[in-house]
Amino acid sequence: MENYPAPARPIVAAMSAEAAAHPERAVAFQGAPGANSHIAANEALPGCLPLPCFAFADAIEAVQDGTAARAIIPIENSLHGRVADIHFLLPESGLVITGEYFLPIRYALMGLGSVGEVREAMSHPQALGQCRHWLKAKGIEPIAYPDTAGAAARVAELADPRTAALAPPGAAEIYGLTRLAEDIADAEHNTTRFVVLAREAEALTGDGPFVTTLIFEVKNIPAALYKAMGGFATNGVNMTKLESYQRGGSFAATEFYADIAGKPGDPAVDRALDELAYHSKWVRLLGTYPEARPR
């Protein structure tokens, strides 16, 4: 609780108490009240009790220990790419991806003075990256902070008109700030993809379409990745996302994160996964869930 700026603490305390009384409805999110993840939780899971957590690891731990039934975590942004740390936290969490949600992102510049007084803007590095051209054009220096709405709370705490926050518009009302500029984004398509995490998979209903997320590490032999991908091509399974990442400071062992169309049990998907497993050291499925947006 003490990690949050003072203006956010009573709000966090009240939300935490309500979630503690009904953990089956609690949805953990990273950030202070008013953050994009808070908005995503309310929109993706109506009727939930959003539970603020200071760090991504805290949100995941809340689900692991039963404090919350689910968590909603940003995984990638259309402008700024992958969200840092998520590719490492997800595989180690033991949690299952049960859904996805796409949230259009727009920010407001908020503070206690006038826009002409602002010399620096605090926000999460993702938000600063998504609005870097706008900030540069205005001559405003970006200042990194752990989350967007928390930056708004911190600006309210500082009470310095030269320091503003870049945050979702609703955060201005929560923390008593004035919106100095609105609808800020470097591109109209600015959208963040969130995934919903739970301790156990949910039964799939309906005809789909479905998405399956997996991670794998190919064998350290020539053309291993090419051969591993061949099964998806020959079986007509669409791979909508493939990213490489390295863990443990090693520059030798590369792991891959992938999204594919379909679900285990589909003959084509099963054949493709069998071929992937043959050419990989290991394969782990992170979840199968309804597709929220056509790929």
Active site residues: 192, 194
3-state secondary structure (DSSP) of residue 263? coil
CB 163 within 8 A of CB 70: no
Q: For the chain, what's the residue count?
A: 295
CB 183 within 8 A of CB 109: no
Task: Single out the residue of 80, 177, 63, 182 nearest to residue 124, CA to CA.
Answer: 80
CB 127 within 8 A of CB 134: no
Half-sphere exposure of 93 (CA within 13 A, CB side): 31
152 DSSP 8-state letter: H
3-state secondary structure (DSSP) of residue 61? helix
Backbone angles phi, psi at 234, to 5 degrees: -70, -25
